[in-house]
């Protein structure tokens, strides 16, 4: 039954609960991630009935082409956003790294959850068990669908060959294990942990070897910007530190006008109320690169006072963080913009333009 815009359900005992529909991709990882978010929401709102609506996206359907070649920014999000726009779902759970830095009109990220390990991991073919990238034989083939990973690793391991591998996590692992095409593949550590496959990780790549993608390891909840009650509801899951780190990363990427089709990488950390952002851009083969680090203070002196002033209408790089003070949010975004400008001043635009052209020509 529905009452105006809200849906309700009556259980066998006659108890009436509000129904919130949650959109997700159909892949096993997406389902696991969405289930974990719904479990967390249920802890805060035990009287709400959450129903999960799974759907296939363009990115799930086009499996024979490298992501960077398809050139569509919202590969994994468009169908979900259409459902959100039509009120078929009330909120959508995404991997934050799949969400473009500018969201379509009327949408916002209402919550950025506590980040898991954002680094990349090496998964070896069973016959190479116990090895690592350093010890693989010359000309060994490593699978990755990411220009960012390939650019950094080609420079570091010129003796290895890097080839595209597409598909969801299950598909990629199957391609690795059941054929002899790849000696290893590179995947996000967070996804492997969430799937319970951490035993397949042979090595985690630290920032000195391979910096990660903007937003990697963090889950995000996208909502309709006008739905104040839903925005309020999901904001309880906002993790301040993750939100600030990801705002800086997203602002950096946005300033560079980067996306899936260019190699841009980041590394962030918070120490003693200072947010450190390292950002880099690469040529496709990694031979040309620019990398810089900047920092800013994200301490909020009068937390309580600030709390009152949070403007619900303000989105920063697509994120509305109701439970995070405004001054640190502004500082985080400025940090990303400033670092982007620093790299642009040193020639980042040229590196990325050539990378984009070469990728288009592949």
Domain architecture of the chain: domains with CATH? 7-117+215-361 (3.30.160.40), 120-204 (3.40.190.10)
> pLDDT at residue 318 above 70?
yes
> Alpha-carbon distance 147 to 220, whole Å?
23
The phi and psi torsions of 163 (rounded to 5 degrees) equal: -130, 150
Which two three-digit tokens encode residue 315? 């989105």
Which is nearest to 157 in space by CA: 181, 192, 122? 122
Work out the average pLDDT over 157-182.
Answer: 93
> Alpha-carbon distance 51 to 49, whole Å?
7
DSSP state of 160: S
Give the pLDDT confidence score for residue 304 in this predicted structure: 47
Work out the average pLDDT over 143-151.
Answer: 94
Tell me the average pLDDT of the chain.
Answer: 89
Question: Each residue of 151-169: pLDDT tens digit?
Answer: 999 999 999 999 999 888 9
Question: Each residue of 270-299: pLDDT tens digit?
Answer: 999 999 999 999 999 999 999 999 999 998
- Which residue is listed with tokens 């509801």? 233
Give the pLDDT confidence score for residue 226 in this predicted structure: 94
Question: Each residue of 9-39: pLDDT tens digit?
Answer: 877 777 888 999 999 988 899 999 999 999 9
Which two three-digit tokens encode residue 83? 């459902």
Residues 100/73, Cβ–Cβ less than 8 Å: yes
Q: Which residues of 286-310 are buried (b: 16+ CB within 10 A; e: fewer)?
A: bebbbeeebbbebebeeeeebeeeb
Give the pLDDT confidence score for residue 57 in this predicted structure: 64
Residues counted in the chain? 362
Residues 355/263, Cβ–Cβ less than 8 Å: yes
> Alpha-carbon distance 141 to 139, whole Å?
6
> Alpha-carbon distance 98 to 117, whole Å?
17
Residues 322/335, Cβ–Cβ less than 8 Å: no
Question: Each residue of 183-224: pLDDT tens digit?
Answer: 999 999 999 999 999 999 999 999 999 999 999 999 999 999
Which band of pLDDT confidence, cut at 50, 70 and 90, is reported for residue 301?
low
Residue positions annotated with a catalytic role: 98
Which band of pLDDT confidence, cut at 50, 70 and 90, is reported for residue 1?
very low
Give the pLDDT confidence score for residue 63 in this predicted structure: 45
> pLDDT at residue 60 above 70?
no
Give the pLDDT confidence score for residue 259 in this predicted structure: 63
Question: Each residue of 119-135: pLDDT tens digit?
Answer: 999 999 999 999 999 99
Question: Each residue of 255-278: pLDDT tens digit?
Answer: 998 666 689 999 999 999 999 999
Give the pLDDT confidence score for residue 16 in this predicted structure: 80
> Alpha-carbon distance 101 to 115, whole Å?
18
Question: Each residue of 99-122: pLDDT tens digit?
Answer: 999 999 999 999 999 999 999 999
Give the pLDDT confidence score for residue 97 in this predicted structure: 92
322 against 303, higher pLDDT:
322
Alpha helices by DSSP H, the chain: 28-44, 58-61, 67-70, 78-85, 147-156, 169-178, 189-195, 228-234, 240-256, 303-309, 326-345, 348-361
Q: Are strands 16-25 and 49-55 parallel, antiparallel or unpaired?
A: parallel
Question: Each residue of 218-240: pLDDT tens digit?
Answer: 999 999 999 999 999 999 999 99
Question: Each residue of 61-73: pLDDT tens digit?
Answer: 444 445 444 444 4
Residue 29 neighbours by CB under 8 Å, 6+ apart: 168, 169, 191, 194, 195
> pLDDT at residue 306 above 50?
no
Give the pLDDT confidence score for residue 62 in this predicted structure: 46
> pLDDT at residue 6 above 50?
yes
> Alpha-carbon distance 59 to 73, whole Å?
10
Give the pLDDT confidence score for residue 70 in this predicted structure: 42
């Amino acid at each position: 039954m529905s009452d105006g815009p809200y849906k309700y359900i009556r259980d066998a005992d006659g108890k009436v609960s509000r129904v919130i529909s949650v959109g997700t991709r159909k892949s096993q990882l997406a389902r696991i991630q969405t289930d974990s978010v719904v479990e967390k929401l249920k802890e805060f709102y035990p009287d709400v009935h959450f129903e999960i609506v799974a759907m296939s996206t363009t990115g799930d359907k086009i499996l024979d082409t490298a992501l960077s070649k398809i050139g569509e920014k919202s590969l994994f999000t468009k169908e979900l956003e259409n459902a959100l726009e039509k009120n078929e779902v009330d909120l959508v759970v995404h991997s934050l790294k799949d969400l473009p830095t500018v969201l379509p009109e009327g949408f916002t990220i209402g919550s950025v959850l506590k980040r898991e390990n954002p680094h990349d991991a090496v998964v070896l073919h069973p016959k190479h068990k116990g090895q690592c990238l350093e010890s693989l034989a010359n000309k060994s083939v490593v699978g990755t669908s990411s220009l960012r990973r390939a650019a950094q690793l080609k420079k570091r391991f010129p003796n290895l060959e890097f080839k595209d591998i597409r598909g969801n996590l299950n598909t990629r692992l199957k391609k690795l294990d059941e054929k002899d095409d790849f000696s290893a593949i590179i995947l996000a550590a967070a996804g492997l942990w969430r799937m319970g496959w951490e035993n397949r990780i042979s090595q985690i790549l630290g920032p000195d070897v391979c910096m990660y993608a903007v937003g990697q390891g963090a889950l995000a909840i996208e909502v309709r910007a006008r739905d104040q009650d839903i925005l309020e509801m999901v904001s309880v899951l906002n993790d301040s530190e993750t939100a600030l780190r990801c705002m800086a990363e997203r602002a950096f990427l946005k300033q560079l006008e980067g996306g899936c089709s260019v190699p841009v990488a980041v590394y962030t950390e918070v120490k003693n109320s200072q947010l450190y952002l390292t950002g880099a851009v690469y040529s496709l083969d990694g031979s040309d690169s620019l990398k810089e680090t900047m920092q800013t203070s994200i301490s909020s002196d009068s937390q309580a006072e600030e709390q009152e002033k949070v403007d619900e209408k303000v989105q920063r790089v697509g994120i509305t963080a109701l439970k995070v003070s405004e001054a640190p949010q502004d500082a985080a975004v400025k940090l990303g913009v400033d670092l982007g400008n620093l790299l642009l001043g040193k020639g980042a635009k040229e590196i990325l333009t050539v990378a984009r052209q070469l990728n288009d020509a592949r």
